[in-house]
């Protein structure tokens, strides 16, 4: 899918941008919508129908909900219909087989699975549509009366497949009228290239180590090998997802859109609470605005607040996938956040930063182990090895061999996942012309290296496509 998407972008992006900048501003959104649908059909020819259905139904229901003649009960009815439609569509394609499988085990029946392919990005564009409709109901935004503009918002190809989740109110004004500039294009190209390099040069390379370790038999796993595997997955998923977010933000900027940041160096966090303020920020904002606060948030007492946190994190786990390990992963974070909420957060604040960061990172790495459960060939042996393997002990020759072969990329990944490179870059003082030239050379080198890796490497997973 990555190669297909990059191929599409390399062929069609120059065409899209040429048409976008040549034609009048009045049809720019039509150009974006047309090519966004082609982009989606490139990877999912059949399910582009679902995308169109989501656009049309959301557009109509938005008008009905926002109509001044339908305030009160009738507007609420249309909101409920919209929620049922979108969650129903998500449920059928993403969760039906999961629910059927549970029912089969609980009741001893043998109902046939639907075995429907998961439409790429359905969780992202469904949540975008719901945020729009809920905000219209709340009166935060006006319903969009131009179906082309609205369709461009839902289907916009820069962030269509793997986020970030863009709330309508963030781009409402830019959908109506935006002014692109050469600075926007320059920044967009640079940001896109950095994201591509994160994905191809770091996530794929480090991920290959995880791919090797997760496929090992239990008897081959020393404690060091198991932890090395989880560390590699921890870095892979960060550079994979934050890389795509960078690409989406960069592509959006080329067309005049200013998407909000989705990551803020989460592995520097000193608590789990802080980690989830920095990781996949658009998802955290969505659940806070549309689930946690409507449930009562922290306004109905500590017991109710803890229950609300528990519900939100169970749903967060389910959002990531229709599998028990994702539910456990969500509840794992729910428990950690509950512990922090009842007093541990204050203890962490008083700890030395290094200790607090080490605690947080260890919990996060263990969490990624739960998250990646389906990818581990021998899960019981793997998790046992995390704490001790009686046969191989703490460190094996195999662990040292694997570490030696990947040490350079792991060190690069560890440094690159922090704010250190950004801090160092900010200390370099260059005049505008020198900065532009160096930036151009740096971007060109990264782009060439990334394209070379894409062409030569067969290992090109995109982890968040499945969500």
Helices (H), 142-278: 147-155, 168-176, 182-197, 204-214, 223-254, 272-278
Residue 249: CB partners within 8 Å, gap ≥ 6?
A: 158, 159, 164, 191, 195, 259, 261, 262
From CA 246, how far away is CA 192, in angstroms rounded? 6
- The tokens for 68 are 């001044």
Cβ(21)–Cβ(180) below 8 Å: yes
Q: What DSSP letter does each residue of 50-80 carry, written as one string?
A: HHHHHHHHHHHHHHHHH-GGGTTHHHHHHHH
Ramachandran sector of residue 99 (left: φ over 0; alpha: ψ -120 to 50; beta: rest) = alpha
From CA 32, how far away is CA 40, in angstroms rounded? 12
- Which of the following is catalytic: 86, 258, 320, 397? 320
From CA 400, how far away is CA 224, in angstroms rounded? 9
* Residues 375, 235, 195, 281, Cα dihedral to 10°: 90
Burial class (CB in 10 A: 0-12, 13-18, 19+), 211: middle
From CA 98, how far away is CA 100, in angstroms rounded? 6
Give catalytic status of residue 320 as yes or no. yes
Q: What DSSP letter does each residue of 265-313 carry, written as one string?
A: -GGG-SSHHHHHHHSSHHHHHHHIIIIITTTTTTSS-HHHHHHHHHHHH
Residues identified as active-site: 320
């Amino acid at each position: 899918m990555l190669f297909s998407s990059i191929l599409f972008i390399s062929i069609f992006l120059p065409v899209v941008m040429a048409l976008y900048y040549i034609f009048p501003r009045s049809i720019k959104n039509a150009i974006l919508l047309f090519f966004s649908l082609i982009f989606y059909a490139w990877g999912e020819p059949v399910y582009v129908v679902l995308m169109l259905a989501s656009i049309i139904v959301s557009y109509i229901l938005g008008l009905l909900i926002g109509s001044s003649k339908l305030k009160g009960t009738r507007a609420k009815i249309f909101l409920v219909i919209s929620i049922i439609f979108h969650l129903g569509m998500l449920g059928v394609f993403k969760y039906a087989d999961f629910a059927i499988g549970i029912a089969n085990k609980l009741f001893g029946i043998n109902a046939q699975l639907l075995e429907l392919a998961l439409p790429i990005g359905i969780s992202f564009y469904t949540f975008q549509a719901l945020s729009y409709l809920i905000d219209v109901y709340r009166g935060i935004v006006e319903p969009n009366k131009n179906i082309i503009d609205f369709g461009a918002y839902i289907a916009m190809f820069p962030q269509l497949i793997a986020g970030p989740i863009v709330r309508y109110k963030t781009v409402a004004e830019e959908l109506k009228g935006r002014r692109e500039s050469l600075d926007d294009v320059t920044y967009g190209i640079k940001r896109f290239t950095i994201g591509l390099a994160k994905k191809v040069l770091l996530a794929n390379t480090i991920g290959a180590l995880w791919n090797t370790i997760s496929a090992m038999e239990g008897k081959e796993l020393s404690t060091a090998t198991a932890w090395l595997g989880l560390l590699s997955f921890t870095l892979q998923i960060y550079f994979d997802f934050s890389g795509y977010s960078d690409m989406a933000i960069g592509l959006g900027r080329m067309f005049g859109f200013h998407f909000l940041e989705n990551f803020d160096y989460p592995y520097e966090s000193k608590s789990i609470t802080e980690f989830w303020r920095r990781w996949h920020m658009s998802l955290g904002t969505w659940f806070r605005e549309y689930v946690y606060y409507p449930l009562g948030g922290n306004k109905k007492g500590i017991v109710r607040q803890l229950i609300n946190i528990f519900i939100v994190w169970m749903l967060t786990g389910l959002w990531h996938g229709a599998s028990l390990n994702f539910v456990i992963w969500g509840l794992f974070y729910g428990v950690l956040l509950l512990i922090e909420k009842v007093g541990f957060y204050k203890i962490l604040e008083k700890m030395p930063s290094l200790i607090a960061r080490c605690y947080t990172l260890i919990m996060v790495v263990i969490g990624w182990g739960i998250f990646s459960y389906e990818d581990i060939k021998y899960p019981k042996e793997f998790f046992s090895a995390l704490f001790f393997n009686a046969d191989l002990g703490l460190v094996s020759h195999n662990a040292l061999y694997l570490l030696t072969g990947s040490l350079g990329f792991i060190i690069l990944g560890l440094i690159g996942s922090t704010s250190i490179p950004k801090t160092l870059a900010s200390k370099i003082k260059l005049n505008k012309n020198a900065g532009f030239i160096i930036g151009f050379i740096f971007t060109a080198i990264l782009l060439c290296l990334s394209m070379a890796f894409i062409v030569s490497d067969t290992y090109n997973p995109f982890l968040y496509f499945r969500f």
